[in-house]
């Protein structure tokens, strides 16, 4: 039986050419796997037909938009995950769901190898291959660009020679990856980190310099999950899409950062994540009134480590699974409403309410009705500072000897 290879297929030039390129280099049949994670653009059927037209023997297509929102975006939201304090893991969280479908397709079509279009310089090669090793340890991995010398100029020449049904004449100077959680742009003009991003690279967000009138929105959560926008019930996917639209119109969620890649280099990235950043902001403010102080402090550390693991391709790792359990436990009381104003590139919270809030008005107020016993404060301060006071006395005594 002829060997079969499943290829993570985007429908673009490189992966379309990779179908025939892999076939010629290995003698194997190629099954194209396209997964919709809310990236928009062409329909899955159009992509499927292009894959077959480029020589794939089978084309596996999956609408994973709700799956992606529920099982990948929501955990990211619950963790308030921002890699290096900036990046909401737009590409990093899409790779595990794609890997899941790649392995599923490999089992369904009897493939022995999984292929992806990553280079040897990026993070995605690690995310794909570590995920595949975990879910399908018997499967082999290849990367045509990295392992079979498929460069862009060779891809264009191959496509023209074979008459493949894809556009080859227009070269976008940027590398772009997008899904419903956000959009990532790199390379080209942006590789000079002194250059400011030009307006043409943005798609999910309008320029914040000339915003429309402020947009006030109320986001409702149950156990850390967004369940309503302005009182209208929504699924997580619908919540992300609605806030992509409304926050994006105000220029919210533009991120320009130089980040540390897993492979050891620094890389300049431009991200657009209006829905993700609005939701993370709202969720964090709701946690501020519903999570106990020490638990909240530790969760911030856990969220940072969670983001690093996911960025580094460890979605399926034991540690990430354990951190998931802790984060999920913290969300028990994270229910309520957050009111925020979207305007001029900012998502500003100006109201919060929750039936499980730890905010006690009678303890917090300075007016009549204050129930806080201020007489206890003096003794508390004396005990709280005792160890530092004793140490300071020791320092003075030693210094004088």
Interacting residues of 395 by C-beta distance below 8 A, sequence separation 6+: none
* Catalytic pick among 63, 66, 146, 175: 175
Helix (H, G, I), strand (E, B) or coil at 363: helix
Contact 204, 319 (CB under 8 A): no
Contact 339, 216 (CB under 8 A): yes
* Catalytic pick among 4, 10, 14, 267: 14
| Cα torsion through 18, 21, 24, 29, rounded to 10 | 10
User: What is the β-pairing status of strands 336-343 and 346-353?
Assistant: antiparallel
d(Cα 225, Cα 331) in Å, to the nearest integer? 9
Query: Among residues 217, 221, 218, 219, which one has the least CA distance to residue 335?
Result: 221
d(Cα 313, Cα 327) in Å, to the nearest integer? 19
312 is catalytic: no
Element (H, E) at 162: helix 152-162
DSSP 216-251: EEEEEEETTEEEEETTEE--HHHHHHHHHHHHHHTT
β-pair partners for 221: 226, 336
DSSP 71-126: IIIHHHHHTT--BTTTB--TTTTHHHHHHHHHHHHHHHHT-SEEE----SSSSHHH
Interacting residues of 332 by C-beta distance below 8 A, sequence separation 6+: 223
Interacting residues of 400 by C-beta distance below 8 A, sequence separation 6+: none
* Catalytic pick among 95, 246, 254, 352: 95
175 is catalytic: yes
14 is catalytic: yes
Helix (H, G, I), strand (E, B) or coil at 27: coil
d(Cα 193, Cα 258) in Å, to the nearest integer? 8
* Catalytic pick among 91, 124, 127, 246: 124
d(Cα 246, Cα 225) in Å, to the nearest integer? 19
288 is catalytic: no
- Catalogue the active-site residues: 14, 95, 124, 175
């Amino acid at each position: 039986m002829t060997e079969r290879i499943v290829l993570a297929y985007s429908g673009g030039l490189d992966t379309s050419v990779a179908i025939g390129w892999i076939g010629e280099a290995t003698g194997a049949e190629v099954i194209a796997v396209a997964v919709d994670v809310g990236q928009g653009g062409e329909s899955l059927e159009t992509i499927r037909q292009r894959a077959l037209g480029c020589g794939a023997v089978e084309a596996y297509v999956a609408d994973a938009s709700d799956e992606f929102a529920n099982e990948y975006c929501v955990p990211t939201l619950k963790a308030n995950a921002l890699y290096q304090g900036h990046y909401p893991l737009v590409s990093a969280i899409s790779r595990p769901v794609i890997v899941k479908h790649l392995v599923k397709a490999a089992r369904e079509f009897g493939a022995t190898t999984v292929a992806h279009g990553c280079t040897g310089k990026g993070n995605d090669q690690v995310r794909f291959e570590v995920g595949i090793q975990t879910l399908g340890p018997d499967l082999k991995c290849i990367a045509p660009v990295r392992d079979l010398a498929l460069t862009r100029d060779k891809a264009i020449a191959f496509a023209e020679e074979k008459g493949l049904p894809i556009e080859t004449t227009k070269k976008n100077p940027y590398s772009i990856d997008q899904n419903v959680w956000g959009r990532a742009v790199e390379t080209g003009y942006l590789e000079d980190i002194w250059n400011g991003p030009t307006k043409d690279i943005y798609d999910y967000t309008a320029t914040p310099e000339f915003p429309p009138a402020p947009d006030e929105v109320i986001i409702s959560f149950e156990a850390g999950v967004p369940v309503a926008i302005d009182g209208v019930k929504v699924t997580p996917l619908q919540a992300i899409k609605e806030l992509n639209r409304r926050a994006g119109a105000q220029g919210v969620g533009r991120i320009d950062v130089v980040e540390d890649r897993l492979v050891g280099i620094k890389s300049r990235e431009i991200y657009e994540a209006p829905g993700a950043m609005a939701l993370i902001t709202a969720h964090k403010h709701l946690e501020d009134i519903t999570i106990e102080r020490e638990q909240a402090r530790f969760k911030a550390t856990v969220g940072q480590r969670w983001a690093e693991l996911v960025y580094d391709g460890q979605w399926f790792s034991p540690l990430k699974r354990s951190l998931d359990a802790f984060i999920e436990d913290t969300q028990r009381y994270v229910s309520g409403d957050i009111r925020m104003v979207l305007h001029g590139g900012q998502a500003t919270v100006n109201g919060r309410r929750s039936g499980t809030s730890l905010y006690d008005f009678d303890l917090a107020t300075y007016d009549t009705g204050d129930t806080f016993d201020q007489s206890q404060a003096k003794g508390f301060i004396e005990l709280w500072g005792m160890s530092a006071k004793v140490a300071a006395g020791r320092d003075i005594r030693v210094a004088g000897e």
